[in-house]
Structure 1
Amino acid sequence: MSKYMRVILVVCEQTSPAGSCRQRAMDYDEGQYKYYAGPRSLPAGGRCILAMGKIYSTEVRTSPMASHCG
């Protein structure tokens, strides 16, 4: 049974963890999927990223917003 899913990947301007993410680049995938949305990738070059996913009404984000830096 498929479900509506979305995955969003944002490359931030920040190069160290921060409570916000100033968007430099973004890619996403959404639709009806049986297993997962994606994969998605972007070159980050030492910058932080923000990753978000959604299945129906459940949302998951990295925290803090600008994280996984380097």
Structure 2
Amino acid sequence: MTGFRKKCRHLVGVKSQYSGTAGRIENCRIGVFLGYASCWGQGLMRALFLPQDWAEDRKRCCQAGCRRK
């Protein structure tokens, strides 16, 4: 997991939360990454953590272009 500091709050998943990258509470997104490599090839999988208050706010998600399933 890693945090990406962001200045704005309208991007999907941006929230005032603790970021280990910054070492303090800041506006940031949290991402999870998984890398795979073998003699047959390699791959990278990434996912964005969506905070609960984002997931519960349909209007905010729609405005940011985030689709819920």
TM-score, structure 1 normalization: 0.34
Q: Which has the higher contact order (CA 8 A, sep 6+)?
A: 1
- Find the structure with the greater CA-based Rg: 2
TM-score, structure 2 normalization: 0.34
Higher helix content, 1 or 2: 2
